[in-house]
Amino acid sequence: MSIDTGVPAETPARASTPEESRQWTARMRHAAESAFPPDQLLPDRQPAYMASWIYVFGVLTVVSLAWVIITGCILAIMGPSWWHVSSTGHFVNSLHLWSVEAFFFFMVIHLWGKFFMAAWRGNRRLTWATGVISFLVSVGAAFTGYLSQQNFDSQWISTQAKDGINSTGAGSVFNVLNFGQMLMWHIVLLPIGVAIIAGLHVLLVRRHGIVPPFAVGDGDAAAETPATTTTTAPAGEPA
């Protein structure tokens, strides 16, 4: 880091000196600015072909995930004696369940839409891959959530699952009959995984833009056109 010499700070837009450009903070800043220019990160215009209902399921999935996390945090704050006994606790517990149902409902439709659009076209392979991984980690998060219900349903699911998981050898490190371990996976490890991968997925969508339909350009090269160069409609205002 540079030493403060007492000289008044210059404008942030000034060019970096060679010494500064070697610092890891400067390199990270330049890499972030290069990868995610502000106008791409928070665009105010989108391509005209985005004016279709099939493009809304990604954001619906993100909104559902936000509800899952918010209700999960409330459940964690109040504890099992609250969500098992009180009416409000039952209500928030149900909100947590139904937001998960909505999350998977919208995510699967989003997946179908992107599959039939071949959304990996135009150098969007990593966007597709992070979506797939996010889906798989979400399945794990939902599964451990079912195991954490503390009712007959969770007992049934865990005793049915143990044979399948033990047959893979994973049971030695992932014991579905160990409630404490499953709860920790559900409220710590897997939510962190889903949040990080889904966040990366959204950033990649911003970086490469939404995939154009086949009618715009059939080839892979045609799909590489960045979204910012084909914008015709303000964001949130379909053309």
Partner 1 sequence: MFLPALLGALINLNGSGRYIHWGFIQISVANFVVIILMIVVFVLAILLPFPKRKRDGQ
Q: By CB under 8 A, what part of segment 29-58 binds partner 1?
A: 51-54, 56-57
45: DSSP letter: E
Shortest Å, Cβ 117 to partner 1: 11
Class of residue 50 by CB neighbours under 10 A (exposed 0-12, middle 13-18, buried 19+): buried
Q: CB 239 → partner 1: shortest distance, Å?
A: 7
Our finding on whether 217 is near partner 1 (CB under 8 A) is no
CB neighbour list of residue 54: distance below 8 Å, 6 or more residues apart = 113
Strand partners, 234: 45
237 near partner 1 (CB under 8 A)? yes
23-to-11, 29, 217 alpha-carbon distances in Å: 19, 10, 42
Interface mask toward partner 1 for 95-134; x: CB under 8 A: ------x---x--xx--xx---------------------
Min dist. Cβ of residue 222 to partner 1 (A):
22
- Smallest gap from residue 202 Cβ to partner 1 (A): 20
At 147, list the tokens: 């195991």
Residue 171 as a binder of partner 1 (CB under 8 A): the answer is no
In the complex, least distance from residue 131 CB atom to partner 1, rounded to whole angstroms: 16
Burial 188-222 (b: 16+ CB within 10 A, else e): eebbebbeebbebbbbbbbbbbbbbeeeeeeeeee
Which residues are near partner 1 by CB under 8 A?
51-54, 56-57, 101, 105, 108-109, 112-113, 237-239
